Structures are given as structure tokens and as C-alpha cells.
């Protein structure tokens, strides 16, 4: 009961924290948020099961891009669109006019196509999340644009919160230690970049818990042998995942190997008839992904000539293997890896709010120690399985970086995607650090990791995100963020009013202020809970 109560508390703290993030982030500050929303809106208003690739976005979304301040990543759009930096330099009267015009966007524009240059490019993704979001929008068809965005952000927080208990069960299956497993779940709950990743309108909120569910089923299959229950659950998670994000293609080989290993291990102890039954269970593991998502990938092959259907893959589909290999060999992989790790630890939304280099290097040092520890550990099947999921996912990200180089000339892959394998990453990190550190330090590995991410989170919210989103600081010429000075601190009194702009009544100033207090209490509560509990031997 004590463990259940602690897990429920961590779950609640995660929800409170991400609800604050969803209210703090400006409209469309989430990565590609406006395009994700546009795809769901097209499905909801036009009754289309699949939004056409590159379809025009709704007229009200296009109007909002011209009125509300936009992320720094969209700075090339030009007038009338303005970035956060430019918006807060406007006279107060002009800012007020934009807010009033945004509130006055005609309701019938939601069902009209825009004539602007912005297109719903996220329609390239599998449709499962957008079906869920479209259903949610149908429940509130007459709500304003800002209200609909906030509702979908809250739905995203609720879906993503499932990752907390699922990760706990993964860690418990690996470590057989409740205290250590609670620490792993708490670390995820306090990671700032994960909160940014899921507190927005996007398909990540559905993909991450599905990936964790797949990892959980795979670990239990390898540990206990092949069963109908966990085989079917793993197959279902993989099938639904493939219908949510194409990066589940990287997980399919690992899950197949896990199923085969579980089947062989169980078959060695069985009679011939029992083997036939387990053969049926193996079929039950591998059939759901084909039945659930096979049609989508066949459609991709027919319409785009690629399996994933993602734009960079489509743009490079005619390149030969040798051309692709030549491009991959020419990439500065040290720089690409640094970019992926940086944007995995903290990138601060689509405006690219980064912290000091030495802060990233502290986390890099921890990663290096963990890798060294993993190489020293005994090779347990569960750890090998987690390493397999993690390694193949990062290999897929490197492949993505190669495709982006060949299609756009930039070699990069967003590190926040790797939160899909957080259920492998966090236990691996904890296990590696515990293996390399002295015995007396091992019980404090998880609490120390929690404290480091909590410090990063509190710093980035109060010294970067809130000051930038309220005009206290801005980008410098080198794209870095200017530091927050003591003279700016009194202006926090008006921060809640500024954060509420373009968000509607669900994120009014009193609501944001209340969520901020809840966020502080949840962050402190996570630290208190883990440091006062048994950290794990």
C-alpha cells in the first residue's frame, strides 16, 4: 500500500507539473504544434479519416499565426507574423490590438481553408493520435481556438502521464526493488524537456506511453517466458504505436527477438503439444501489428514509395545506397550526437531556449559514467533488452539525421524524440551509475539524479522560459538568450498576465498563478518523497 500511495503521488505530481507547462507555453510554442492541431481540426470539421498531405490549414489557425507571437524557429516567416522577441518590443497599444483581433476571429473560419503558405505537413504521420484529438474537438465544436488548444494540451498531459506508472513497472521488473523503481518514475516526472515535449498538441503524448508499454511487455516476456497475455499486450502496443509514430519501426525487431527468445526458452521445458500452443501465442504476439497498422505502411509504399512516408524519406527515395552511404560518412557525427543529447536534456521549446554549456557537460559526464558502468555490469537479459531498444532507437535517429542532410542540407535529429525510450534510458542510466560508483553511494544515485533534473527544471522555468515568454529577456545576435538581471525580477508581478495572452479563459492569470504554485509544490513534493523514502540498496 505504501508503494502504491507513493506511485500515485508521483503520478499526481507529474500531472500538476505538466498542467503548469501547458498553461505557461505560449500558443504554438510547442514543436510543430500548429500543424499537429491543424491536422486534428481538418479531421474534426471535415469528417475526413485521413487529412491530405500538405492540405491548407484552417483559416483561424492561419490568422492566429499572424497575430500571436511565434516561436523563434519561425522567425523567417516575416510580417505580419512576429516572434516573441519582436512582439514584446511593440507598443502596448499594438499588442492590445493584436489580442483583441485574435479574440475576434470569426467562428466560421475554423471550417474554412486558408489561402496562406502554411500547410498541414504533419499529415504525413500515422493517424491514431489525430483521430483521438478530432474526437475531443467534436465534443467542444464551438469553443474558441485558444480553448480548443488548451483542451488538447490537457488531454496530452493525461495521456502522457500513463508513462509514470508504466515506467515504474518496467523498473520493478528489471531491479526487483520498489524504492529504486519509484526513483526512476520520479526522475521522469521532473525532467523539464519531457514536460515540454508532452504538454503540447502533438502525437508524442500517445506514442511515449505506447512505447513504454511495449518495453514493459517485452521485459516480462523475456523474464517469464511466452504467454498469451503479455504477448498480446506487446503486440497491441506495437500495433497502436505503429499507427501513431513511424519510429516504432525501430522497435519492431527488438520486440520480435524478445518474443522468439521467450518462446524458445519456454519451449525447451515443454512437450510437443505445449510447443504448438506456445507457437500460437507467438503468432498472437506478431499478428496484431500487421492487422492494426499494416494497411498504413502499405498505403505509404503505394503513395510515396517509402515505408515510413515521412517527408525526408520521400525526398530521398531515388538516391542510391552508395549516395546515402557517402552522405552518412560525411556527417560530423560528434556534432550531431551533441545536438541530439543537448535537445534531449533541455531545448526549451520551439524558441530554442538553451542553458549554459557547462550545465549540459555535467549531464554528459553522468552519461559517460553510466555507459562505463554498463560495460562493467554482468549482461542480464533484461538489461540487454533495454539496451537493444535504446540502441536501435538512436540508430533510427542517426538515420533520420542522414535523411535530413540529404533532403535539406542540415544533419540533425531532435533529441526530444528519445523520450519514447525513457523507460529504457532511465533504468540503464541508474544501473550503469550504480555499477561504477562505490557501494555506499549506490542508494543515492536515483535521488541525486532527481535533484539534478529538479534544479535544471526550476532554473529553466524561472530564469529562461517565463522571462522570455513575458518579454523580460530576448535572443542575442548569436541566438543565445540574454541573462536575466536583478532589475527584471520585480516584473514577475505582471508575468501571469502576459503568459495568459492568446490562451482564453482556461489559462486566465489566476489559473496560471494557481498552477504555478501547484507546480512548485509538486516539484518539492517529488524531492521530499524520494529523499525520505528508502532509496534502494
CA dist., res. 296 & res. 131, Å (int): 14
CA dist., res. 42 & res. 147, Å (int): 17
Task: Provide the 3-class DSSP secondary structure of residue 516.
Answer: helix
Give the pLDDT score at 278. 62
Give the pLDDT score at 464. 92
Report yes or no: 359 and 350 within 8 Å, Cβ to Cβ. no
Asked whether residue 206 carries a pLDDT value surpassing 90, the answer given is: yes
pLDDT, averaged across the chain: 90
Asked whether residue 428 carries a pLDDT value surpassing 90, the answer given is: yes
Give the pLDDT score at 536. 56
Report yes or no: 530 and 183 within 8 Å, Cβ to Cβ. yes
> Which of 360, 354, 356, 351 has its CA nearest to residue 470?
351
Band of residue 491 on the pLDDT scale cut at 50, 70, 90: low
Give the pLDDT score at 145. 96
More reliable by pLDDT, 448 or 273:
448
Q: What is the mean pLDDT of residues 5-24?
A: 97
Give the pLDDT score at 250. 95
Question: What is the DSSP annotation of 182-208?
Answer: HHHHHHHHH-HHHHHHHSSSSTHHHHH
More reliable by pLDDT, 144 or 281:
144
Q: What is the dihedral of CA 434, 438, 443, 449, to 10 degrees?
A: -60
The predicted-structure confidence for 339-388, as pLDDT tens digits, reads as follows 999 999 999 899 999 999 999 999 999 999 999 999 987 778 899 999 99
Band of residue 279 on the pLDDT scale cut at 50, 70, 90: low
225 — alpha (psi -120 to 50), left (phi > 0) or beta? Answer: left
CA dist., res. 143 & res. 38, Å (int): 15
Q: What is the mean pLDDT of residues 177-206?
A: 96
> Which of 181, 208, 192 has its CA nearest to residue 6?
181
Three-state SS annotation for 423-449: HHHHHHHHHHHHHHCCHHHHHHHHHHH
Asked whether residue 494 carries a pLDDT value surpassing 60, the answer given is: yes
Band of residue 267 on the pLDDT scale cut at 50, 70, 90: low
The predicted-structure confidence for 323-338, as pLDDT tens digits, reads as follows 787 788 888 899 999 9
CA dist., res. 13 & res. 20, Å (int): 11
Q: What is the mean pLDDT of residues 271-297?
A: 75
Give the pLDDT score at 275. 54
CA dist., res. 407 & res. 232, Å (int): 38
Give the pLDDT score at 535. 55
Q: What is the mean pLDDT of residues 28-54?
A: 93
Asked whether residue 71 carries a pLDDT value surpassing 60, the answer given is: yes
All three cell numbers of 486, joined, read 536583478
What percentage of the chain carries pLDDT values higher than 90? 72
Asked whether residue 195 carries a pLDDT value surpassing 70, the answer given is: yes
Task: Provide the 3-class DSSP secondary structure of residue 171.
Answer: helix
Q: What is the mean pLDDT of residues 7-30?
A: 97
Q: What is the mean pLDDT of residues 478-488?
A: 67
The predicted-structure confidence for 223-241, as pLDDT tens digits, reads as follows 888 888 888 899 999 999 9
Asked whether residue 199 carries a pLDDT value surpassing 70, the answer given is: yes
Residue ranges covered by each domain of the chain = 31-158
What percentage of the chain carries pLDDT values higher than 70? 94
Asked whether residue 24 carries a pLDDT value surpassing 80, the answer given is: yes
All three cell numbers of 465, joined, read 522560459
Backbone angles phi, psi at 56, to 5 degrees: -60, 145
pTM for the full model? Answer: 0.94
> Which of 510, 479, 408 has its CA nearest to residue 72?
479
Give the pLDDT score at 269. 60
* The dihedral sign for the CA sequence 67, 69, 74, 79: positive
Give the pLDDT score at 407. 84
Band of residue 286 on the pLDDT scale cut at 50, 70, 90: confident
Give the pLDDT score at 487. 56
Amino acid at each position: 500500500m505504501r508503494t502504491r500511495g507513493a506511485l500515485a503521488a508521483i503520478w499526481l505530481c507529474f500531472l500538476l507539473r505538466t498542467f503548469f507547462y501547458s498553461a505557461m507555453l505560449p500558443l504554438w510554442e510547442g514543436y510543430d504544434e500548429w500543424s499537429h492541431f491543424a491536422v486534428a481540426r481538418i479531421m474534426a470539421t471535415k469528417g475526413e479519416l485521413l487529412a491530405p498531405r500538405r492540405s491548407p490549414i484552417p483559416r483561424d489557425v492561419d490568422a492566429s499565426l499572424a497575430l500571436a507571437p511565434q516561436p523563434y524557429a519561425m522567425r523567417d516567416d516575416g510580417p505580419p507574423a512576429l516572434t516573441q522577441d519582436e512582439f514584446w518590443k511593440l507598443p502596448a497599444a499594438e499588442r492590445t490590438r493584436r489580442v483583441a483581433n485574435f479574440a475576434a476571429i470569426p467562428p466560421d473560419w475554423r471550417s474554412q481553408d486558408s489561402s496562406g503558405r502554411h500547410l498541414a505537413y504533419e499529415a504525413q504521420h500515422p493517424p491514431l493520435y489525430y483521430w483521438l484529438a478530432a474526437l475531443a474537438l467534436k465534443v467542444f465544436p464551438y469553443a474558441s481556438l485558444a480553448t480548443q488548444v488548451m483542451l488538447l494540451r490537457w488531454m496530452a498531459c493525461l495521456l502522457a502521464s500513463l508513462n509514470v506508472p508504466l515506467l515504474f513497472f518496467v523498473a520493478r521488473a528489471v531491479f526487483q526493488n520498489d524504492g529504486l523503481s519509484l526513483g526512476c518514475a520520479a526522475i521522469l516526472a521532473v525532467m523539464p524537456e519531457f514536460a515540454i515535449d508532452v504538454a503540447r498538441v502533438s502525437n508524442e503524448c500517445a506514442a511515449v506511453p505506447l512505447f513504454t508499454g511495449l518495453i514493459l511487455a517485452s521485459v516480462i516476456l523475456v523474464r517469464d517466458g511466452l504467454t498469451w497475455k503479455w504477448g498480446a499486450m506487446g503486440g497491441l502496443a506495437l500495433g497502436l504505436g505503429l499507427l501513431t509514430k513511424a519510429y516504432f519501426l525501430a522497435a519492431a525487431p527488438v520486440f520480435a527477438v524478445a518474443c522468439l527468445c521467450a518462446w524458445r526458452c519456454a519451449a525447451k521445458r515443454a512437450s510437443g503439444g505445449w510447443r504448438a500452443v506456445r507457437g500460437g501465442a507467438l503468432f498472437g504476439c506478431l499478428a496484431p501489428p500487421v492487422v492494426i497498422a499494416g494497411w498504413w505502411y502499405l498505403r505509404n509504399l503505394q503513395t510515396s514509395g517509402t515505408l515510413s512516408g515521412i517527408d525526408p524519406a520521400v525526398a530521398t527515395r531515388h538516391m542510391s545506397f552508395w549516395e546515402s552511404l557517402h552522405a552518412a560518412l560525411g556527417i560530423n557525427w560528434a556534432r550531431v550526437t551533441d545536438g541530439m543529447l543537448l535537445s534531449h536534456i533541455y531545448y526549451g521549446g520551439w524558441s530554442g531556449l538553451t542553458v549554459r554549456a557547462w550545465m549540459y557537460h555535467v549531464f554528459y559526464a553522468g552519461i559517460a559514467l553510466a555507459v562505463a558502468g554498463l560495460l562493467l555490469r554482468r549482461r542480464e537479459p533484461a538489461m540487454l533488452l533495454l539496451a537493444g531498444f535504446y540502441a536501435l532507437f538512436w540508430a533510427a535517429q542517426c538515420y533520420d539525421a542522414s535523411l535530413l542532410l540529404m533532403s535539406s542540407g542540415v544533419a540533425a535529429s531532435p533529441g526530444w524524440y528519445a523520450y519514447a525510450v525513457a523507460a529504457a534510458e532511465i533504468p540503464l542510466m541508474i544501473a550503469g551509475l550504480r555499477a561504477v560508483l562505490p557501494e555506499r553511494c549506490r542508494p543515492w544515485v536515483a535521488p541525486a539524479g532527481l535533484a539534478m533534473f529538479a534544479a535544471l527544471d526550476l532554473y529553466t522555468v524561472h530564469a529562461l522560459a517565463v522571462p522570455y515568454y513575458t518579454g523580460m529577456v530576448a535572443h542575442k545576435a548569436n541566438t543565445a538568450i540574454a541573462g536575466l538581471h536583478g532589475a527584471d525580477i520585480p516584473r514577475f508581478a505582471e508575468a501571469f498576465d502576459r503568459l495568459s495572452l492568446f490562451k482564453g479563459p482556461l489559462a486566465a492569470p489566476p489559473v496560471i498563478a494557481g498552477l504555478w504554485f501547484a507546480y512548485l509544490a509538486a516539484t518539492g513534493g517529488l524531492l521530499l518523497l524520494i529523499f525520505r523514502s528508502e532509496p534502494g540498496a
